[in-house]
Chains A and B, each alone.
Chain A
Amino acid sequence: MSQYNIRVVVTFGIMFLLLLMVGLGQSWSLSLSILNLCLISAIMALGVNIQWGYAGLFNVGIMGFTALGGLSAVLISKESVREAVKAGGMKMLVAIVIFSLAIAVSIYIYKKLKSKWWVIATILTGFFITRYFYLDAAQSIEAINPAFSGYLGGLHLPVLLSWIAGGFLAAGAAWLIGKISLGLRTDYLAIATLGISEIIIAIIKNEDWLSRGVKNVTAIPRPVPYEIDLQQAIWFKEMVGKIYAGKLDLLPVSDQAAALNAYMSDASIVLVKLCYSGLFLAVLLLIIILAGLALNSPWGRMIRAIRDNETAASAMGKNVKQRHLQIFVIGSAIAGVSGAMLVTYNGQFTPGSYIPLRYTFLIWVMVIVGGSGNNLGSVVGGFIIWFLWIEAEPVGFWLADLSTSFLDKENYIRQHLLNNAQYIRLIFMGAVLLVVMRFSPDGILPETNKKL
């Protein structure tokens, strides 16, 4: 085996071992929680890797695309609010149609008539007509029972569809953004995407009729059964009874029912999480296979050639702008899919929680630590960073406790360190990034086929 292959086997072995250890030492439910989020993070990181690692596009607006994915989970899976649709649905539809019409007409005028003034006039008229319908519609929708609904609701379709829809929604937004800003180079593109992602969040936070805004949407339907339902299901009781038959028999008969209940509550949680893990793993594998095939195809070589020397690629007749747009759309779509998956897993959509630190820069750290340009690297990065993000807290407590154990219990320094142990999470992130950058500047799993 080559050096690289050993590295892959060892890293994935370590990941598996760590999860096993959390499972055995802490609990299986925690271990699976970490695994599930690792899988989602890995998909997010893959989205960034496709943009940065393949094509060198510096997109720091991942947050916006994950939020759009999340929004699609709401729009697809929640039940529609009948009164709200009745009160303002029609008007909102009219507003949207007029808005799209105004844009289409102005594009037509721009292309055919080449008249600036007519374009401006069309846009302005369109804006005012839209505004007339829109304001009225938004107000009447938001007035319906604002504490509990106050929005249109969704289509009430299976939530799994939203993973695909989230991808398309993010792709659509990326296409628009790409059209506007991909002419910009590196750092300018970074600033543009950062700004645009904040705009997307601001829209989601403030358009209550669409997303309930900062009031959050909770109880998003699940693609897997509820734990409480499992605990009451007869087949589940029999199954758990059979699995733990050996252990239950050792107990006195009076304690058996209580013990079985405890086993069932643990088993239901683990089973639900396993179902999620299966779904997430399937999506991750699909994306990784497709991304790997694309990377090693002629198209992938072209993308990398553009990344490494745009001028040369352009001189060879490659349409650099088109390829950039393509890759921007694909990467963002993957971020959208992962965003929808995350909201599905959390069971709620909380626009206020989208902050760049968590949804843009943490993902970037995953890509950089894992190794940009390498798909497996993104998976490793997603895993390691999320694992530390969760486990840093107990380790932080332990470190604070150990390093000050010689001090008196009431000592100020000891108290202060123990009370602030949570912050070690952020210190850990920085430390890991620095250590990896120092000892393996290309990431844990570097790009393999760098040379064309």
Chain B
Amino acid sequence: MKKYFKFIVCFAVAINMATVCFAADTIKIGVLQAFTGPIESLTPPMASAAEFAINEASDSGVFLGGKKIKAVRADSTCIDAAAATAAAERLVTVEKVVAIVGPSCSGTSAAVATKVSAPIGITTISSSATSAALSEIKDNGYFFRTAPSDARQGQVLAKITIDKGIKKVAITYTNNDYGKGLSESFGKAYKKLGGKILMTSSHEDGKADYSAAVGSLSASGAHSLVVFGFIDQGGKGIIQASLDSGAFDSFIFADGMIGSSLTKHFGKDLNGSYGTMPGGQSEATEKWKSIAKSAGIAIDGPFRGSSYDAAALVILAAQAGNSADKASIQKHVMAVANAPGEKIYAGELKKALKILAKGGEIDYVGAEDVEFSEIGEVFGSYQEMEIKGGEFVSVKVH
């Protein structure tokens, strides 16, 4: 009997110690990302980017008259809605965070938005949930996202493809809401513009060999393959199998496939392939690139800039309302994100905080050209990236 109690007491102490609060004038922001699970390789740099924005504002000394901000990480798992909502609840009720940056995936985002954000009333800004269905959830105005809906990217990519004179393609997508959503929006837009889709097929991530999938795709007679997948996962396998068999002349990518690890691996074999990734005016992107470089954040993957933006928006909204109150943050997110006001780029948080402290207005542009629609979603501008000489080069902004 006694030994049980000892164990329990130890455990209880452990739990309670883990929740010891910080000094009262430290404000906390939750970073709820999928640190374990299927996209665990994508999330650490995203969290670093969000924390970088938080530290930048905290160190500036002008946030709410010199208060410090601290990031609190929690795991949204990407797949387990129950664990994600429990983590979000812990952030809000135990850690007393004033806003949440996350969750990472669309499924967990919907759960957290409807079960935590809306009832408790806490601003939740996801930087990577792209499912079109999230536009219609019951979030009571508390859920925002700095990653554009898949619906838009598909349209942009379809237009670029038609403009390049490619009239026939085959599509392969990773079998989840991201891949499927993109493939549907791309397909619809592409057909409308006069293109022809010879075959659409899905692939599952994490397989050892994709040559069978590539075989049937190339049998459709297409010379260009649209790949809506992930760079670390099935997407890479598809490219490998296609290059091995020489099945396709060129590839068309969405944001999940754009990164230096792709070009490092395949190099000049991919010359002439192109794709889109979220990214704003070149000025914003250039500034974000230099800032990220100095912070040691690799920017060759998706959603890092949008994570920085999400954290920055929370901080600026708090400053605009001159209060770290949950409700006040939600009220001011739109105002700081949209015009009118002075344009603020990545790395200029101190300047923005000063303007807001004086009662001025800002228009946050950030790393990825943030502009919110009425329901709190970015419209999204995209960079057209082309592989030239074995490297991704930004060609144009759409």
Contact = CB atoms under 8 A, between A and B. Distances in A.
Interface of A: 6, 10, 14, 17-18, 21-22, 25-27, 29-30, 33-34, 37, 146-148, 205-206, 213-216, 218-219, 226-228, 231, 265, 268-269, 272, 342, 345-348, 350, 352-353, 355, 358, 389-391, 393-395, 397-399, 419-423, 425-426
Contacts of A226: 119, 138
B119 A398 contact: no
A213 B180 contact: yes
B14 A265 contact: no
Interface stretch (B78-86, B161-169, B266-274, B306-314): B78-86
B89 A30 contact: yes
A355 B79 contact: yes
Interface stretch (B103-111, B220-228, B238-246, B335-343): B103-111
Interface of B: 1, 4, 8, 11-12, 14-19, 35-36, 44, 73-75, 79-83, 85-87, 89-90, 93-94, 106-107, 110-111, 114-115, 118-121, 131-133, 136-138, 140, 151, 175-177, 179-181, 184-185, 188, 202
Given A21-B16, A214-B180, A26 B133 contact: no
A17 B82 contact: no
Nearest to A25: B16
Interface class of chain B by DSSP: helix
- 6 interchain residue pairs of minimum CB distance: A227-B119, A27-B93, A398-B18, A353-B79, A350-B107, A394-B18
A311 B360 CA distance: 85
Contacts of B4: 10, 14
B75 A33 contact: no
Given A228-B138, A394-B19, 10 more contacts: A27-B89, A29-B89, A147-B151, A147-B184, A268-B119, A342-B82, A389-B83, A390-B86, A399-B14, A425-B36
Contact of B93 (A14, A29, A390, A425): A29
7 contacts: A30-B89, A30-B94, A37-B82, A147-B185, A219-B137, A346-B85, A399-B14
A426 B19 CA distance: 21
Contacts, number: 162
A234 B172 CA distance: 53
B15 A26 contact: yes
B14 A34 contact: no
A390 B107 contact: no
A216 B14 contact: no
A397 B110 CA distance: 26
A218, A265, A398 — most chain B CB neighbours (10 Å)? A218
A348 B110 contact: yes
Nearest to B8: A14
Contact of B107 (A18, A148, A353, A421): A353
B175 A227 contact: no
A216 B175 contact: no
A359 to B, nearest CB: 10
B82 A394 contact: no
Contacts of A397: 18, 73
A346 B81 contact: yes
A215 B202 CA distance: 13
A18 B177 contact: no
Contacts of A10: 1, 4
A353 B175 CA distance: 12
B86 A30 contact: yes
Contacts of A147: 132-133, 151, 181, 184-185
A399 B14 CA distance: 8
Nearest to A32: B89
A22 B86 CA distance: 12
B86 A398 contact: no
A422 B36 contact: yes
A218 B137 contact: yes
Nearest to A425: B36
Contacts of A398: 14, 17-18
Contacts of A422: 35-36, 73, 75
Nearest to B149: A147
B176 A352 contact: yes
B110 to A, nearest CB: 5
A77 B279 CA distance: 40
Given A228-B119, A265-B119, A394-B15, A215 B111 contact: no
